[in-house]
């Protein structure tokens, strides 16, 4: 049994490869590798999936499901995206525990109470992620949003992407301290700047894993942590299993030293 639950974002196997094969074709691999959650990506479906059948297959394999959509919660006009209800319904049809979105264009004039009638009391849970954009990748707007949501008693949480903070030059350690109480799902990826100046996601080194273990201390014990970095190799099962082992022990005390 893994000390902590690990998820795999299916984008990690390469967008083109996953679109060609279909996300459902990776489920047996994930189950065999000891994965607890699978993150289905809306943008990787070539056509609308049979949500009930796909959700049943995930459940039979003993995994939980998170549905990720590129939707921004707040539009440029400062209102909740009108497609939110539709995305929540798709997540529900999949049997997903949570729907992941990004923050979007939130500001102090946004009416957070407008979300009350949109969020289902019985799930799926809405998880708002820090993305790579100016509007959704900075600490202060996210902190203001979650504080406002708390005051209104809204049932939602945060996806904390440890690498995305670098796109806006925000320190991940500070973000973890200020936002940690709302974190329910952690996207793990190391980041490297290429020769052309672009930032790209890469697999972690030992120093990254050590830094991530420190971040985990700011979150609720047992938080789900997800691979969102390239998984490329001849033996995907062996590679995936090794990454599951590495992430599962982060924040598990002395077990980290023996990973």
Domains in the chain (CATH in brackets) are 6-258 (3.20.20.150)
Tell me the pLDDT tens digit for each residue of 175-199: 999 999 999 999 999 999 999 999 9
Average pLDDT rounded to a whole number, residues 217-240: 97
Tell me the pLDDT tens digit for each residue of 68-126: 999 999 999 999 999 999 999 999 999 999 999 999 999 999 999 999 999 998 989 99
Q: Residue 14: name the closest of 40, 44, 37, 42 by CA.
A: 44
Q: Are 99 and 135 in contact (CB under 8 A)?
A: no
The confidence score (pLDDT) of residue 3 equals 85
The confidence score (pLDDT) of residue 2 equals 52
**Which tokens sit at 32?**
């065999």
| pLDDT > 90 fraction of the chain, expressed in percent and rounded | 93
Q: Which long-range contacts (CB under 8 A, 24 or more apart) does 43-50 make?
A: 43/15, 43/70, 44/10, 44/11, 44/15, 44/18, 44/19, 46/19, 46/22, 49/23, 49/24, 49/94
| pLDDT > 70 fraction of the chain, expressed in percent and rounded | 96
Q: Residue 233: name the closest of 247, 225, 243, 224 by CA.
A: 243
Average pLDDT rounded to a whole number, residues 212-234: 96
Q: Residue 129: name the closest of 45, 18, 39 by CA.
A: 39
Alpha helices in the chain, H assignment, sequence order: 15-21, 27-32, 51-60, 84-93, 139-151, 172-179, 206-216, 236-248
pTM > 0.75: yes or no: yes
Average pLDDT rounded to a whole number, residues 245-251: 94
Residues 6 or more apart whose Cβ sits within 8 Å of residue 239: 231, 232, 233
Tell me the pLDDT tens digit for each residue of 125-142: 999 999 999 999 999 999
Q: Does position 259 have pLDDT exceeding 90, yes or no?
A: no
**Which tokens sit at 172?**
């991940």
The confidence score (pLDDT) of residue 241 equals 97
Q: Does position 153 have pLDDT exceeding 60, yes or no?
A: yes
Round to whole Å and give the CA distance between 163 and 171: 10
Confidence band, pLDDT 50/70/90 cuts, at residue 256: very low
The confidence score (pLDDT) of residue 251 equals 82
The full DSSP string for 96-126 is: -SEEEEEEES--TTS-GGGGTTTS-TTSPEE
Average pLDDT rounded to a whole number, residues 20-27: 97
């Amino acid at each position: 049994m893994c000390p902590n639950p690990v998820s795999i974002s299916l984008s990690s196997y390469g967008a083109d490869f996953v679109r060609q094969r279909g996300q459902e074709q990776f489920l047996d691999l994930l189950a065999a590798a000891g994965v607890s959650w699978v993150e289905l990506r809306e943008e990787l479906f070539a056509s609308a999936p049979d949500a009930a059948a796909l959700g049943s297959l995930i459940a039979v394999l003993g995994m939980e499901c998170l549905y990720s959509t590129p939707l921004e919660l707040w539009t440029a006009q400062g209102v909740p995206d009108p497609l939110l209800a539709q995305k929540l319904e798709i997540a529900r049809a999949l049997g997903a525990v949570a729907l992941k979105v990004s923050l979007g264009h939130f500001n102090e004039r946004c009416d957070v109470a407008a979300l009350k009638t949109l969020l289902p009391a019985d799930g799926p849970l809405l998880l708002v992620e820090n993305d790579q954009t100016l509007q959704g990748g900075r600490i202060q707007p996210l902190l203001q949003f979650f504080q406002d949501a708390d005051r209104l008693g809204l049932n939602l949480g945060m996806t904390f992407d440890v690498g995305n903070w670098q796109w806006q030059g925000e320190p991940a350690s500070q973000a973890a301290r200020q936002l940690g109480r709302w974190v329910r799902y952690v996207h793990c990826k190391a980041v490297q700047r290429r020769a052309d100046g672009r930032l790209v996601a890469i697999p972690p080194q030992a120093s990254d894993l050590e830094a991530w273990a420190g971040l985990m201390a700011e979150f609720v014990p047992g938080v789900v942590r997800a691979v969102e970095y390239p998984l490329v190799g001849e033996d995907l099962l062996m590679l995936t299993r090794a990454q599951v082992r590495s992430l599962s022990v982060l924040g598990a005390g002395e077990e980290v030293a023996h990973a």
